[in-house]
A and B are shown apart, each in its own frame.
Chain A
Amino acid sequence: MKTFLIPLFILAVLLIGVLFLFLVNPVTTLDIIQLAVIVLILAGTAIFVMDRYRSYRRREPAEDEYSKSLSQKAAAISFYISLFLWLAIKILSDRFTLCTCSWLTLGVLAMALTNVITWCLLRFRGLKNE
C-alpha cells in the first residue's frame, strides 16, 4: 500500500465532510472559527502528505528513526500543552455561554491544532541534542 495514500484519503474525507457541513447548515461566528481551525489542521496534514509523497517518489522508507522521534516529541509537547488548554477552556466555559458539545468540539480542534503546529515547528527546527 502506498504510504501517502492513507493520509491523502483522510484529508479528502475531512475536506468533503467540512464542505458538506458548511453547505447544508447556516453559518455562525463559531462555525467560522471552527472552519479556520479545521483549515489550519488540513494545511498541516497537507504538509504531512506531501512529505510522505516525496519519500515515496524517492523510494525511501515512509518512516525512519528521525520521523518517529519527531512524531513522538510533537505528541509529548502537544499533550502537555493540551492539559493547560482544557484548563483554560474550563475557565472560559464559566464566562461564556456555549453548549457542552461546542466546548468539546473547540477543545478537540485546539488539541489537533496544537499537535499540527508543534509537529510543523519541530519539523523545521530539528531535534538537537535530544
Chain B
Amino acid sequence: MNNRIKEFRARFGLTQQELADKVHVRRETIVFLEKNKYNPSLMLAYHLSRVFDVTIEELFSFE
C-alpha cells in the first residue's frame, strides 16, 4: 500500500508534528507512514483524509 501523505502535508504546509497532533498520534507514526513502513488503521486513514479534505482512495493506493 502506498500513500501521498508527504505530498499533501507539503501542500498544506504542515510539519510532521502538526499533522500528528491533528490526528492524535505520535510524530513517529507519521514518519513511518510517509516511508510506507506502516499501514494505518481505517480510523487513522479516515482522520488523515479528513485533515487533507480528500477521500481515502486519493490518499492511499493499493498496488
Chain A complexes with chain B: yes
Task: Check if A61 sits within 8 Å of B37, measured CB to CB.
Answer: no
Residues on B with C-beta less than 8 A from A51 are 28
With most chain A CB atoms within 10 A of its CB, the pick from B29, B36, B40 is B29
Number of A residues contacting the other chain (C-beta, 8 Å)? Answer: 17
CA of A66 to CA of B32, assembled, Å: 9
CA of A66 to CA of B17, assembled, Å: 15
**Shortest distance in angstroms between B29's beta carbon and chain A's nearest beta carbon?**
4
CA of A67 to CA of B44, assembled, Å: 14
Task: Check if A55 sits within 8 Å of B26, measured CB to CB.
Answer: yes
Judged by a CB distance under 8 angstroms, whether B25 is at the interface is yes
CA of A98 to CA of B12, assembled, Å: 64
Judged by a CB distance under 8 angstroms, whether A130 is at the interface is yes
Task: Check if B1 sits within 8 Å of A64, measured CB to CB.
Answer: no
Find residues 37-57 in chain B having any chain A CB closer than 8 Å to their own CB.
37-41, 43-44
Q: Of all chain A residues, which has the CB nearest B38?
A: A127
Task: Check if A129 sits within 8 Å of B28, measured CB to CB.
Answer: no
Contact with A along B1-38 (1 / 0, CB 8 A): 10000000000000001001100111111001001111
Judged by a CB distance under 8 angstroms, whether A26 is at the interface is no
**Shortest distance in angstroms between A29's beta carbon and chain B's nearest beta carbon?**
40
Task: Check if A65 sits within 8 Å of B32, measured CB to CB.
Answer: no
A126-B17 contact, Cβ under 8 Å, with A60-B26, A65-B41: no
Residues on A with C-beta less than 8 A from B20 are 60
Residues on A with C-beta less than 8 A from B36 are 128
Contact with B along A41-72 (1 / 0, CB 8 A): 00000000001000100111100111101000
Task: Check if B35 sits within 8 Å of A126, measured CB to CB.
Answer: yes
Given contacts A58-B27, A128-B39, A130-B39, 5 further A-B contacts (CB under 8 A): A60-B27, A61-B25, A61-B26, A65-B25, A128-B38
